[in-house]
Amino acid sequence: MSSDEEEYSSEEESDEEDPAEAAKRAEEAKKKQAQVDARKAEVRKRLEEQNAAAKKKKGFMTPERKKKLRMLLRKKAAEELKKEQEKKALERRKVIDERCGQARNLEGASDDQLRDILKEYNERLYLCESQKWDLEYEVRRRDYEINELNGKVNDLRGKFIKPTLKKVSTYENKFAKLQKKAAEFNFKSQLKAAKVE
């Protein structure tokens, strides 16, 4: 056998094995492709899980939810403000009733009853005015004490409050000096006139 024949025979053998090898190669290629697809699917699944987790974390406070939360907070604050105002109004009314007393029915009262009621109102008015004066005096006294203590603190710190100076027009000062000189000149001229006479 020559070399040409050997090559030819080997090609024939390879052609004969080719369908079996091709089937094996096809199976191996399918297996490799299946493995690659499985890995890709695994990676996709992992990425989707990560994205889903990220979306859950990020997406909790969506703009709609934020808006809704703000509205709920505003409503809650408005309700609390109303309650607080009502509470203050009730307290104010209670204090006014306590200090001023209940209104009396004056219709159908006799003259003696009217005098008694007026006397009672006058006494209450006197009491309220005296309490008012006492409170005002106490406020003034405390303001004075606060100012004194602030002054002492500033003295200890070395900080002194500079008094505000009034703005004075220089034109008025010059005018006053001129008038003074004119008065002196008049005085001197009157003295000279008195000596001559």
pLDDT digits (tens, 9 = 90+) for 92-120: 999 888 877 777 777 888 889 889 988 98
Contact (Cβ atoms closer than 8 angstroms) between residue 154 and residue 160: yes
Cα 71 to Cα 64: distance, rounded to the nearest angstrom: 11
Residue 5 predicted with pLDDT over 60: no
69 CB-contact burial (10 Å; exposed 0-12 / middle 13-18 / buried 19+)? exposed
Residue 163 predicted with pLDDT over 60: yes
Cα 186 to Cα 24: distance, rounded to the nearest angstrom: 141
Give the start-to-end residue ranges of the domains of the chain.
25-60, 62-99, 110-156
Cα 135 to Cα 129: distance, rounded to the nearest angstrom: 10
Could you report the per-residue pLDDT of 8-64, keeping only the tens digit for each? 554 444 445 577 788 888 888 899 999 999 999 999 998 888 887 766 655 567 888
Contact (Cβ atoms closer than 8 angstroms) between residue 103 and residue 117: no
User: What pLDDT is attached to residue 77?
Assistant: 96
